[in-house]
A and B are shown apart, each in its own frame.
Chain A
Amino acid sequence: MDTAELASVAVELLSSTDPRDIRARLVRLALEEATADRCTLTSVDRGVFRVEESYEPGGQPTFVGHEYPLSHLDDQPLMARALSSGEVVTGESLATPHTPPELAPALQEVRHSAIVPLHLGTEVGAVFVLSRKRDEPFDPAALQRIGEIGGVAVLSLHNARMLEGVTAAQRRGLDALALFSQHLATSESRTVFFGRMSETVGGLTGAQRVAYWFIDGDELRVQPEAYGFAGVDIAAMTMTLQAALSAGLFGVLYAGESARYKRQQAAGPDSPLAPPFVANLLAVPWRTSEASLGMLVAYDSASGFGEQDEWIMRLAARASSLVLQGYTAQQRMLQLQADEMGRLREHGARMAAVDRRKSDFLKLASHELRGPLTLLRGYISILQEGTIEPLPAKLMPALDRMDAEVSRMNELVGQMLAAIRLEHGQVKVEAHETRVDELVRKVVNATDAGARRVVVEAPEPALAFADRGQVETIIGNLLSNAVKYSPDGGDITVAVHGDDTAVEVDVRDQGIGIAADEVGDLFRPFSRLHAAELRGIDGVGLGLYLSRELARAQDGDITVASEAGSGSAFTLRLPRRRAAPLPVAPEEA
């Protein structure tokens, strides 16, 4: 081949990005140029020889891929000379005790061999190994030309390999990102996450072991979910922060630096950072934005730890610290929530207890009040009846007054107890079809309206679906209010009417009425009208509250229409019988 041809070959080779392609073409070219019977291309990279491509005429270039370390050079004087001199070396046999068996038969037949170093700058990047079976030495000029093409070739091979390396690195990086993201998204617990991360880092970096070292007080300890530590007592792997700093780990722990250790450099022969079984390690910082968590350490990669590995590990450490922060934040949130819930529950329980104590006390007090009331009532009645001794007539009004007061006290105690029971849901409604008109008449008859006229307007039977006793209580209350709040007399009308859905009882009086601004509070417990207080009308203010609660318990209600000075009208509304029950589904045949 002349210069021009050489040039075009060179261009062609340089433009190829496929190392396989380059190698294949190279061995072919070399074989043809040197008219050899066999040509192999062996690369020299970081102390390791790799027989890449091999070619024989009539066949196809085949990828061998066999690796052997530098030490084997001791048995290969030709190779050793070629590498150290950088010059073409020729010889006869190539066979050595280390020759791989698959090449041995071929080598026995070799009469002449040549080793052509291919330079990459000042270094030998690869060698051609040429052999001839026939007993004819190689043409040195041909070997020279091969060397020149080879130089170009090695450059492109190197570029291609670099590109391949970069592509591989890119791929690894993307894989790393994808895997880490997956772990982030799917790990259901811290333990699972750290376990997966350690394993993935191991896989991507080629490390045999991966461990997260975390700072715990003044110690560094290993996260239990470490990778590749089967059979090792991880719990025993601790070191004091002091020792770590003395071992030169300040940079990793606090200054964001990485640290690579080889066996001989590891911090002391017994350092737990590099246990005896470790040959090399890479440590990267593991930190949050605010503090140092510790470090991520990968141990024993067969190919050593490169920049890419460091990049992957830093990424893993970053992801882990985010997760840790996330988990911590989440745990803090959950704790806060739990604390809040706890406080709320406690508060609720306290309030309920206070409530219960209050009502228990009220219940007790109310009942106790009935004792004295019984006696008062009893003795007043005895005096009134004159059974001990007839009393002077002029004392009777006084006794009547006393009786009335005691009665009222009794009523109030009853109302208080009813209110307490209502509040504690102890009131049961037993609803039946009830003749409201009859109830009205009964209550009116039993009520003392003094000098007032009570008119009942209930021309028709009025059936409601309600609890008889409770309706009686309500009507009684409304009626007694009507009486109480018309101290100057006037008529009281009780009208019963209704429509399809409900029965209504209107209780109207011509009394003091209710001011507009007091209507809102009317049904609240213990609320009393100003006017009532002024007029000396007694009461505790529970009647309407109780009545409305009772009405609502029957699915009814009480409403009011009133104006100050012109009387009031209270309306009790009660539901009629519910609509006919839904038809029953026909029985299965």
Chain B
Amino acid sequence: MKLHAIKLVLLFAWCLLPLSLTADDVKVTVEIDDVDRLRAKTPIKGVITILHEEASKVDIGSFSIDGKPLKVEFVKDVKLSSDSSAILSSYRFTLEGKSKGIYLLPKILVHVGDNDFITVPFTYTVSNDPSAVKQNSGNPSTPTVGSSSTDYLELKASVEGSKTLYLGQRAKLIYVYSFVGNIHLSEEQLPMLDAKGLKKIGDTEIKDYESNGIGHHVVSQEVEATTPGVYTYGPSYITGFSSYQDPSGKLFYSKKLLRADADAMTITVKAIPLDGRPLSFTGAIGSYTFKVELASPPVASSGEKISLKISVAGNGALDDLKLPDLCCQPGWSGVFKQSDLPPSGFVHGDTKTFIVDVRPLAPSITEIPPIEFSYFDPVAEKFVTLKSAAVPLKVNVPKKSEKESSPKLPEPAIKAKEPAPIISKPPLIEISGNMPLEPKDLHNVIFGTWWSLLAFPIGAAVIIFQVNLRRYLKVQAAKIKLKNGDEWFADALKETECTPAFYHALYRAFFYRLVEIGAIASTNITPEALPTTGISGKVREFLCSLEEKRYAGKDIPSKKAIVEEARNLFMKIGNKP
């Protein structure tokens, strides 16, 4: 039982399988060549494409259209991939040409494998004009298997408005690309969009549309004339390549470069003439109409606010349009009072509306006087002055209650306002007061300048001086110990006995004295080394005799005798030369 159920399931699945194959793997489509460019009485050619399994053969004799056999010609089989058994088979067919009109391509039947398949019908249009016919719905737009002979590209440059502008006037510079087919632009030279010498207003606008099978790409730029002169833009051109797709969707580019040129455009900007310029001209250029009407009741009290609605309609630039000063217009000065701020106005369509608030100053007023508005007509090249009609107005004397309720207004002869009170009282002092100064406060503080740093080098010099001075004094102190002969002799006399110090001092005395007189050169000498002649010889004899006796130890004379003899000899040596 269980096995039987399994077999049934498998059988069912096996039956479904072919259906699934046929449902998913066979697709039949039909395309008409140049479907958007079909001419009357011209045979209609097309392609039937069948996607099927390799095993499911297409019966070439089974093609039929609207129940009638359709002769087809085999084109090719294309295997989609090496891993798949699916094949794309193409068959061409030809139908008789038809006259101008809209037709339905009926379903086409074909036998593939064990089943019949049909295409979806769709409409097509045949026209007499070689220009493209708008493609109908029913079939999504199919890629056209086109050729370069059907490609079309055109460029036009134009100016919306006049090519002669006056200062402040606006115009629109336009480029229109017209094309047929898929064009890929490679270069665009559009000098008009730069608008050198003119002022660009807003961004560049782009608009696309199709008309009679021709695509249009419109690029425009609004400009305003700001500087007088002659401005030439161009010539302009665009270039590109057309492209097309084959049934598999692959994109091909035509080798032929398409180019479209547009002539140069010249725009002349003129200055608005000064001669004959009316006082009420505020810069409006174009052609306008002017209307003034009361926006409040026609009855008011003196000093009460009334509103005027001033409408200016025209073809000029309304955004910058200004009203003339009403205060300077005839019949306004001293009669009506206006707000100090000028009305800004609002634009709606081709009309700009101003709401102006004024106050009648006297009960004698019976109308709103005509208001003059002037503009410059660039076509006629002259100023045009418009005057609005007078608007009737009744002004009452203000009643007491009205006086109390209405805001206080000045008399017709407006009095000058009193000047605002001057805040004369100075503010409180927030800071500490000044210090009384003395002349010393104007000068640098003592030793507070860079000169005070000289103390270091000067001090160093003083220290160096002191060091050297000390050294010198030391040397001098050592020198003081050197005595002369008399001093040595005096030292010898000081000795009480004939001590070695006595003899030493005595010898020194004689040696120093001899040096002083130049008899000998140095005091570093012994008695034996003294010269033997002259006074030096006598000294030698004396000192040697004394030495002998002294070292012999006998016949040593007394100190008194030695001193006396030495004195006599010393006296004989004499003074220094």
Asked if A and B are interacting partners, one says: no
Seen from chain B, the residues whose Cβ lies within 8 Å of a Cβ on chain A are: none
